[in-house]
Amino acid sequence: MAERIVVGMSGGVDSSVAALLLKRQGYDVIGVFMNNWEETGEDGVCTAVDDWADVRAVCDIIGIPYYAVNFQREYMEGVFRLFLDEYRAGRTPNPDVLCNREIKFKAFLELALQLKADRMATGHFVRTDAAGHLLRGVDPQKDQSYFLYMVHAGQLRRAMFPVGGMTKAEVRAIAAEAGLPVSRKKDSTGVCFIGERNFKRFLQTYLPAQPGDMVSPEGKTVGRHDGLMYYTLGQRRGLGIGGCGTGESWFVIGKDLARNRLLVAQGDDHPMLYSTRAVCTDVTWVAEPPMAEGGTIRCTCKYRYRQQDQPVEAALRDGRLQLRALTPQRAVTPGQSAVLYDGETCLGGGILAEVLDAGCGKDGRG
């Protein structure tokens, strides 16, 4: 009897080709569409209806059964509430990381096992080995290991990633050759529950805005902000401050939560935008921890998705991950994930909680 694989299908080309390849390899494939967000109006509408139609069309062409499952309650409790809590606390979260942990490799994996599946599969651009290590996808422009660092080896051993060893161009070519209607479908951008809607307007629906002052490093009020939750470190657009003084653009360099002040400064290379030391909480390792409590390793780190790997010294102290970048990093943002790598292997990471030496400057000397 063929091994049964349940494929998480989003309606995009990657998961569609994943299902197609598994079917061609002789597996007993079942397609499942996850509906994680209730469409309730103009704000926050995602493309669930259109995506579900694409899943049905693709599965009919491939010749596999398909189902839709509602994970709205799990998504609200495990992802969206934490998303709001982080913004309420003045941080900038990454809900895609939580979605993979709570929905795709927890709720969906449990569903796959209920369907008597041997394994689950997704269209992520990552690879694994027999031990459950998480490896980068071969396409450096599409590698998604950053978003899966919270997934454990035991879960990865039950998962398959058919497109992880391919480039995006190869995936689209296979879809076109098979006549799949999603072969040229645009990649989704942003968070599902926001889609391409106005982000500020979406947040206003759930969190009350508290306007306040924008303040320069000298303590001078240079403008007004609409609410600290709408801004992130290093942001330039949308500040509404003219280029007074030096004529250079203004950038967000910090947040004073106690006094509800947005800290801003002029110049893309202002010293306050740079730091080398940061602390992470919620530390997660994919497989065996690369260091014991009190230990230190040298590795590389991504402080944000698509960033080039940065050499760091990582230490574990009291369950918190302490990072020292070997070169100053720009706009390290609390709430985002710092993800560690050893070559092709994603080790794990944590949530950036605190920047310790903001102001060190681009050259590290302040």
Q: Which residues are catalytic?
A: 99, 192
In angstroms, the Cα distances linking 196 to 3, 6, 82 are 38, 29, 21
Distance CA 222, CA 213 (A): 8
Token pair belonging to 25: 């390899």
Q: Which two three-digit tokens encode residue 129? A: 């080995």
Token digits for 356?
């310790």
Q: How far apart are CA 243 and CA 249, in angstroms?
A: 6
CA distance 115 to 136: 29
| Residues 115, 322: Cα–Cα separation, whole Å | 42
- Could you give the CA distance from residue 336 to residue 245 in angstroms, rounded to a whole number? 32
Place of tokens 């000298």: 218
d(CA 339, CA 307): 11
